[in-house]
Chain A
């Protein structure tokens, strides 16, 4: 009964809203009619006038000429009147007609084109792109050899609904995330409902009660993120050319919102991955697998490598030889081994380069509460429930990412485009490029170590000029502002007082280590939840038994690679795109106190490539800086180090970015953007060769375009 009335109520309200919409439509339509009739009136003006002139004329005639009988006169009049009316009517009609006519024309034209598109042979020679690398390599004689496991990264994997609140009833087993199915487009129909289902529980980091959202399994999980926006599809197509299919290719889809260990706790994702690798190995004639993790998947797979060899209750119980037995190579694509600085800005103020750019272009748009959007607050609220974001925080602290005075990248070009030029010249001169030659260093070195600074000045001045405020406040307990009403958007900012925000801003600069403390200060519950699963430090002594805890497994600086001397580790990533490295922040305008207190100061502009709308850039693939993607393979794991005790081989393969030459190329065959690199021909070729049995040296060993080696040398990590 209750249910019925509720439904009725809903129905009524829907009808009311529908009616109001119709009214609105009618209004528009009428306006349109008036408008167009006005237009028409002008064109018909002449004939109208003539008639008006004619009419009294004829009347006068009637008066003078008595030959016409009165009856006839009346009919004549009526005829004329009706003609007039008719004209008016047609005029009125014609406006609507014209609308219909226009729409009809457009529809017919589009249908015609659609039919044409169907009829036209699929392979128009003009539209045919160059041959895909898979076909070329197949002709070279390469065939499927090692089974392949794909590990998608954050965001790119699809999520579907298995159980939800009544508002999501029709979305059962539809995608809430990824793909443009009815689920993803539902953001626009019921954004709050959608957001509620994508959030996790703030306390546990697992499903909220009554909601089950699960990763989509199979290759469809991440082949396309949305129709036409490929992620793995191109690579899969090329692999298929060599003979790969479901039998020897597996997509290790996991719920990328969860912390890595929780994917095992909730979905058994790690166990399934282990089992699948074993099946692939067994059913393909005992061939070891080649693993292709992308982005966060690289860290996830690092976690897996430790998990699978750890004993049973926490780990997979595969024993110490598991990786050596089953894995031929791990080819990390755009790996986030040491984290991405972007993660800080995402957690602090839910914004990145893109959003700050939008803000500069249309400064009012995002702030306006006119539409009641508050998009950013919503994004922050949802994303803070995702543990996985914390896995992306920069790891290794100041040793890796620099402190107040230095950073590994300082003095180097922020994109390798210019440097290539310089290098070419210097080679001709047969001289080494010295650091003095770099013009930007002469001006002022960028202090990338200050990952967040409040104000441009603070990011540039010498450290001695910085105000010395004790950072003790961050360790003090939070002074809760009891006056703050708990608004609709519950983020932990609501629990803090205005004074503490100001204190944070007064401290001016934050290095990576400080920032982790800062996050603990502003979002204590989230960090407490997430830090049970992740650690961002640098291990002093890897023998310490505490490093057996699973929270260290995804940090390459706090774990050792498995004992698998024959396993190869590749770091494949793009270079040549400015990548976010540090930020200039400011306080939000005080009238927006309820939302997010800080934001990127998009007015800060350095005039060169390295500082744009509040963001300092370095070389990278648009998301991951070179240092994070390459350091471990170039230095940390190179040879026998304490992080790589068995001395398994590592290779760095960089792909220089080249934007697509024409529109026809789509996202480019030589693009190196974080996701676009999955369509990079050179990368695909490398992967296919390894999958077909090649080793690192056969590929040509390291291929480095950036200043990675110099950066790595500056990093002082005991190896």
Chain B
């Protein structure tokens, strides 16, 4: 009987009591010996097992989930999504018409390994750039070595062949989930586009433009592929869509293709007229990007400067070897000729001198605050930003009047060898050859305008600039008929070339506005050891009213390219029949006002105006689809301008 009672009794007990008892019991030594069997390791294993099971379950339910589920959830939260532009335009009855060519920009194209040193075992035909970047972490120095080019020639180092990935996969996604061209391709596909009428003109974006032809025959391949697509689409001309640096690359291509054979493509003077319907430049840095200057000068951009401002101690010390990393980055990027293609062009005439700049008076967010009443004082105050002084040493130098500015010329300064040279020799930057005197001379000059920046770079990095100046030029042509302008180094500078003779062709420039974009910098000297890069952005320089934050002056733009650079040529330089555009090619400026994504679910937003995110902007995609399906610029609605580009363009005194 008691046995039965015992069996039944626990069920009648309240759980609390038993729990309390459990606690007591667990303290008993007898229990303890049993618990020992479940030692720490077992518990760990148990935990891992639980997590694994949960993970598998989630994975399974994720896989079993119907494909439309995420969309369903999004719609439930934010309301019905607008049709993607491809669907919208398809409903209007538009169909595939003109073949489309994509020209990716710098950084976004994938690069793969074809031949390497022993440390790259197993990486044959794997991506070194783009994709997962797994190798950067696994063997950083090996990776760095293979990504660099030769210091002298700007081509492959001996024994290394890194080549661009071909096909649409080259730049559809930069890394998993981070689209570049994928959204656009997706929408074009809805109209009926596929491989036969879409072509990704991938090229090695590290090389100078002419070298892509010398080494890989990339320009010839682009030419042949455009010819092929035009021929197989029944004579319909191609629509070219370059992005970012691809804009300059294609500018180079258009000159190259019409130039006779040994240097050029030998397509004859009417090649562009025969094969191109429209060039739709997205976020084109026609006149260069100020961002490229600190990139070359001190291997940093705003992001790093901001990080330094947030945690001043950490980054200055060598805790994370950041300085080392920066030096490596600088060493790497300085071997890439292409970075020099984006040094601001046109000098003081375009970018402003010591006391003026086209954008002066710009107040951030002014456009958005139009309705609010503004005191004139405020806008007066904003005028003080001297954007023309692209690099100033010290905040003071950036602000004081020209008369008070004292400058000591750096050009004749003696370069001294650094004493501690040997300890830094593993990293090659040309700063070791300047020496203290050179560095001080640079800082003494205080203020650099666009013209002087080219000279500055020539002073601090003579070898790099010597290599670069064989391929790029940053001036303004006085007389475009001068035979010297037949040299290929002028072809990517819109201020030193004429557009091809193709009156029916259309040129669009499409870019985002409404995001603060780097325009000028306040620099300081580094105080720490001599192995470091001697200059860095002075992130303490901050001014609440003007556009100065963390040592960087910002203007309107798409986060990378200032509006002036992207828009000036189409708004003014090429408008109508000018000396840069002798055949009067029609140009259109299409600006897209930036609107950040409303919710997290939208990802990178469908109305973004940022430099790369704009490729997912529905309005931009719709414009492209319409042109690809046959529309002209007029039918799109001509210019669409939100910024002050027209006002700024008028301030620039360039003979047209």
Are these two chains actual partners, yes or no? yes
Contacts from A to B (Cβ < 8 Å): 4, 7-8, 10-11, 14, 17-18, 21, 52, 55-56, 59, 77-86, 90, 97, 99-105, 107-108, 118, 122-123, 162-163, 169-170, 172-173, 189, 212, 214-215, 217-220, 223, 236-237, 240-241, 243, 245-247, 267-268, 271-272, 275, 278-279, 282-283
Q: Mark each residue of chain B from 114 to 132: 1 if its CB lies under 8 Å from any CB of chain A, else 0.
A: 1100100110110000000
* A–B Cβ pairs within 8 angstroms, 16 of them: A55-B3, A77-B6, A78-B21, A81-B13, A82-B10, A82-B22, A101-B46, A104-B44, A104-B50, A107-B52, A118-B138, A163-B189, A173-B185, A240-B124, A247-B163, A279-B217
Known: A86-B25, A107-B52, A170-B67. A218 touches B189 (CB 8 A): no
Tell me how far the C-beta of B256 lies from the nearest C-beta in chain A, rounded to whole angstroms.
Answer: 14
Q: Determine if B403 is an interface residue (Cβ-Cβ < 8 Å).
A: no
Tell me how far the C-beta of B521 lies from the nearest C-beta in chain A, rounded to whole angstroms.
Answer: 39
Q: Please report which residues of chain B, range 196-243, place their CB below 8 angstroms from some CB of chain A when the two chains form the complex.
A: 196, 216-217, 220-221, 224-225, 227-228, 231-232
Q: Which of B2, B72, B220, B224 contacts A55 (CB 8 A)?
A: B2
How far is A212 from B188 in the complex, measured between Cα atoms in Å?
Answer: 14
Known: A123-B121, A272-B228. A55 touches B65 (CB 8 A): no
Q: Determine if B544 is an interface residue (Cβ-Cβ < 8 Å).
A: no
Q: Determine if B572 is an interface residue (Cβ-Cβ < 8 Å).
A: no
How far is A542 from B163 in the complex, measured between Cα atoms in Å?
Answer: 47
How far is A386 from B45 in the complex, measured between Cα atoms in Å?
Answer: 53
How far is A97 from B35 in the complex, measured between Cα atoms in Å?
Answer: 13
Q: Determine if B61 is an interface residue (Cβ-Cβ < 8 Å).
A: yes
Contact A240 B114 (CB under 8 A): yes
Known: A7-B72, A214-B195. A103 touches B49 (CB 8 A): yes
Contact A283 B189 (CB under 8 A): no
Contact A214 B194 (CB under 8 A): yes
Report chain B residues within 8 Å CB of A162: 189, 194
How far is A173 from B61 in the complex, measured between Cα atoms in Å?
Answer: 24
Report chain A residues within 8 Å CB of B220: 279, 282-283
How far is A85 from B11 in the complex, measured between Cα atoms in Å?
Answer: 9
Report chain B residues within 8 Å CB of A52: 3
Q: Which of A10, A55, A217, A237 contacts B124 (CB 8 A)?
A: A237
How far is A428 from B581 in the complex, measured between Cα atoms in Å?
Answer: 85
Q: Determine if B53 is an interface residue (Cβ-Cβ < 8 Å).
A: yes
Contact B6 A11 (CB under 8 A): no
Closest A residue to B72 by beta carbon equals A7
Known: A81-B6, A82-B10, A172-B186. A217 touches B48 (CB 8 A): no
Number of interface residues of B (CB under 8 A): 68
Closest A residue to B37 by beta carbon equals A94
Contact B194 A80 (CB under 8 A): no
How far is A220 from B169 in the complex, measured between Cα atoms in Å?
Answer: 10
Contact B61 A101 (CB under 8 A): no
Q: Determine if B320 is an interface residue (Cβ-Cβ < 8 Å).
A: no
Q: Which of A82, A104, A169 contacts B18 (CB 8 A)?
A: A82
Report chain A residues within 8 Å CB of B172: 173
Contact A101 B42 (CB under 8 A): yes
Q: Which of A55, A86, A107 contacts B49 (CB 8 A)?
A: A107
Contact B66 A17 (CB under 8 A): no
Contacts from B to A (Cβ < 8 Å): 2-3, 6, 9-10, 13, 17-18, 21-22, 25, 34, 38, 42, 44-50, 52-53, 61, 63-69, 71-72, 75, 114-115, 118, 121-122, 124-125, 138, 161, 163-164, 166-169, 172, 185-186, 189-190, 192, 194-196, 216-217, 220-221, 224-225, 227-228, 231-232
Known: A97-B46, A278-B224. A14 touches B21 (CB 8 A): no
Contact B221 A283 (CB under 8 A): yes
**Additional pairs, 13, CB under 8 Å, beyond known A122-B122, A189-B63:** A4-B72, A4-B75, A56-B3, A59-B2, A81-B10, A82-B22, A90-B34, A99-B49, A100-B46, A223-B125, A236-B125, A237-B125, A279-B217
Tell me how far the C-beta of A583 lies from the nearest C-beta in chain B, rounded to whole angstroms.
Answer: 39
How far is A220 from B168 in the complex, measured between Cα atoms in Å?
Answer: 12
How far is A217 from B2 in the complex, measured between Cα atoms in Å?
Answer: 81
Contact B194 A100 (CB under 8 A): no
Q: Which of B52, B63, B71, B75 contacts A104 (CB 8 A)?
A: B52
Contact A122 B216 (CB under 8 A): no
Report chain A residues within 8 Å CB of B68: 7, 10-11, 169
Tell me how far the C-beta of B566 lies from the nearest C-beta in chain A, rounded to whole angstroms.
Answer: 30
Report chain A residues within 8 Å CB of B13: 78, 81-82
Known: A56-B3, A101-B42, A104-B45. A11 touches B50 (CB 8 A): no
Q: Which of B45, B196, B224 contacts A267 (CB 8 A)?
A: B196
Tell me how far the C-beta of B261 lies from the nearest C-beta in chain A, rounded to whole angstroms.
Answer: 11
- Nearest first, the 10 A-B pairs at minimum CB distance are A104-B49, A100-B49, A104-B45, A104-B48, A283-B217, A103-B49, A82-B21, A268-B232, A85-B10, A275-B228
Contact A246 B42 (CB under 8 A): no
Closest B residue to A275 by beta carbon equals B228
Report chain B residues within 8 Å CB of A236: 125
Residue of B2, B44, B164, B185 contacting most chain A CB atoms (<10 Å)? B2
Report chain A residues within 8 Å CB of B195: 214-215, 217, 267
Contact A84 B2 (CB under 8 A): no
Closest A residue to B52 by beta carbon equals A107
Known: A214-B195, A272-B228, A275-B228. A81 touches B52 (CB 8 A): no
Closest B residue to A94 by beta carbon equals B38
Tell me how far the C-beta of A18 lies from the nearest C-beta in chain B, rounded to whole angstroms.
Answer: 6
Contact B216 A247 (CB under 8 A): yes
How far is A705 from B62 in the complex, measured between Cα atoms in Å?
Answer: 56
Report chain A residues within 8 Å CB of B10: 81-82, 84-85
Tell me how far the C-beta of A560 lies from the nearest C-beta in chain B, rounded to whole angstroms.
Answer: 28
Report chain B residues within 8 Å CB of A218: 166-167, 169
Residue of B44, B118, B195 contacting most chain A CB atoms (<10 Å)? B195
Closest B residue to A52 by beta carbon equals B3
Contact A279 B224 (CB under 8 A): yes
Known: A14-B66, A218-B167. A101 touches B49 (CB 8 A): yes
How far is A97 from B38 in the complex, measured between Cα atoms in Å?
Answer: 10
How far is A183 from B144 in the complex, measured between Cα atoms in Å?
Answer: 34
How far is A122 from B142 in the complex, measured between Cα atoms in Å?
Answer: 14
Report chain B residues within 8 Å CB of A170: 67
Report chain A residues within 8 Å CB of B124: 237, 240
Contact B196 A268 (CB under 8 A): yes
Tell me how far the C-beta of B182 lies from the nearest C-beta in chain A, rounded to whole angstroms.
Answer: 8
Tell me how far the C-beta of A250 lies from the nearest C-beta in chain B, rounded to whole angstroms.
Answer: 10
Q: Which of A8, A80, A85, A169 contacts B67 (CB 8 A)?
A: A169
Q: Which of A17, A81, A84, A102 contacts B64 (CB 8 A)?
A: A17
Contact A103 B52 (CB under 8 A): yes
Report chain A residues within 8 Å CB of B65: 14
Tell me how far the C-beta of B64 lies from the nearest C-beta in chain A, rounded to whole angstroms.
Answer: 6
How far is A218 from B195 in the complex, measured between Cα atoms in Å?
Answer: 11
Report chain B residues within 8 Å CB of A18: 61, 64
Report chain B residues within 8 Å CB of A212: 194
Tell me how far the C-beta of B34 lies from the nearest C-beta in chain A, rounded to whole angstroms.
Answer: 8
Report chain B residues within 8 Å CB of A268: 196, 232
Closest A residue to B69 by beta carbon equals A11
Tell me how far the C-beta of B553 lies from the nearest C-beta in chain A, rounded to whole angstroms.
Answer: 42
Report chain A residues within 8 Å CB of B66: 7, 10-11, 14
Report chain B residues within 8 Å CB of A11: 66, 68-69, 72
Tell me how far the C-beta of B30 lies from the nearest C-beta in chain A, rounded to whole angstroms.
Answer: 9
Report chain B residues within 8 Å CB of A214: 194-195
Known: A82-B18, A102-B49. A271 touches B231 (CB 8 A): yes
How far is A79 from B25 in the complex, measured between Cα atoms in Å?
Answer: 8
Report chain B residues within 8 Å CB of A90: 34
Report chain B residues within 8 Å CB of A223: 125
Closest B residue to A162 by beta carbon equals B194
Tell me how far the C-beta of A180 lies from the nearest C-beta in chain B, rounded to whole angstroms.
Answer: 15
Tell me how far the C-beta of A171 lies from the nearest C-beta in chain B, rounded to whole angstroms.
Answer: 9
Report chain B residues within 8 Å CB of A80: 6
Contact A246 B166 (CB under 8 A): yes
Tell me how far the C-beta of B333 lies from the nearest C-beta in chain A, rounded to whole angstroms.
Answer: 24
How far is A258 from B38 in the complex, measured between Cα atoms in Å?
Answer: 64
